[in-house]
Structure 1
Amino acid sequence: MKFRTFAAFVAPSVLMMLLFIAAPLVSVFWQSFHVTQPVYEQVEVETCTPGFLTQTCVTEIKTQPVLDENGEIRTTTRWVGLQSYRNVIEPDRAWAAIKSGSWKALNVIDFWKALRFTLMFTLVTLPLVIGTGLAIALVIENAAKAIRGPVIFISLLPFIITPVIGALSINWLFRGDGILTAGLEWWTGRDIAMFAQAWTIELIMMFYRVWHVAPFAGIIFYAGLQTVNRDSLESALIDGASRFDRLRYIIVPHLMPLIVFVAMIHLMDTYRVFEEIVGFRSQGHVISLQWLTYDFLTPNEAGTRSISRASASAMLTMIGIAILLVPLLRRTWRDHKGVR
Structure 2
Amino acid sequence: MKFKTFAMFVGPSVFLMLLFIAFPLVSVLLNSFQVTQPVFTTQEVETCSAGFLTQNCVTEVKTIPVLDENGDTVTTTEWVGFSSYANVLGGQRFVDAITSFDLGALLRIDFWRALRFTLTFTLITLPLVLGLGLAIAVVVNNATKAIKGPVIFVSLLPFIITPVIGGLSIRWLFYGDGIVTVWLEALFNTDLSIAANGWAIEFLMMFYRVWHVAPFAFVIFYAGLQTVNQDTLESAVIDGASRWERLRYVVIPHLMPLIVFITLIHLMDAYRAFEEVIAFSSESYRITLQYLTYDYLTPDDAGNRAISSASASAMLTMVGVVILLAAPLRRTWQEHRGR
Q: SS of the counterpart of 2:195?
A: coil
TM-score, normalised on structure 2?
A: 0.97
2:13 maps to: 13
1:237 maps to: 237
Deviations 1:139-193 (A, max 9, x none): 1101111221111111000000000000000000011111111122222222222
Paired letter, 2:245: D
1:289 maps to: 289
2:319 maps to: 319
Are residue 31 (structure 1) and residue 36 (structure 2) matched?
no
CA distance in 2, matches of 1:4, 1:136: 47
CA distance in 2, matches of 1:58, 1:179: 59
2:192 maps to: 192
Are residue 69 (structure 1) and residue 69 (structure 2) matched?
yes
Q: Which moved more, 1:18-27 or 1:260-269?
A: 18-27
CA distance in 2, matches of 1:91, 1:326: 28
CA distance in 1, matches of 2:172, 2:78: 47
Paired letter, 1:28: V
1:307 maps to: 307
Paired letter, 1:279: A
Q: Runs of at least 4 residues of structure 1 off by over 6 A?
A: none
Deviation at 1:51, TM superposition (A): 5.0
Percent pairwise identity: 67
Paired letter, 1:117: F
1:189–1:54 CA distance, 2 compared to 1 (3 A): closer
Are residue 47 (structure 1) and residue 44 (structure 2) matched?
no
* Matching of residues 146-161 of structure 1 within 5 Å: 146-161=146-161
Q: Which moved more, 1:143-152 or 1:112-121?
A: 143-152
Deviation at 1:98, TM superposition (A): 3.2
Q: SS of the counterpart of 1:195?
A: helix
1:117 maps to: 117
Are residue 135 (structure 1) and residue 129 (structure 2) matched?
no
Deviations 1:214-240 (A, max 9, x none): 010011001001111111111111101
CA distance in 1, matches of 2:91, 2:247: 47
CA distance in 1, matches of 2:188, 2:54: 74
Q: Which moved more, 1:144-153 or 1:199-208?
A: 144-153
Structure 1 residue runs of 5 or longer lacking an equivalent are: none
Deviations 1:262-294 (A, max 9, x none): 000000000001000000000011111000000
1:108 maps to: 108
Q: Which moved more, 1:88-97 or 1:191-200?
A: 88-97
Paired letter, 1:183: W
2:99 maps to: 99
Deviation at 1:127, TM superposition (A): 0.4
- The number of residue pairs the alignment matches comes to 339
1:213 maps to: 213
TM-score, normalised on structure 1?
A: 0.97
1:47–1:179 CA distance, 2 compared to 1 (3 A): closer
Paired letter, 1:71: G
2:84 maps to: 84
2:224 maps to: 224
Deviation at 1:58, TM superposition (A): 3.5
CA distance in 2, matches of 1:270, 1:243: 32
Are residue 167 (structure 1) and residue 167 (structure 2) matched?
yes
Paired letter, 1:125: T
CA distance in 2, matches of 1:296, 1:189: 43
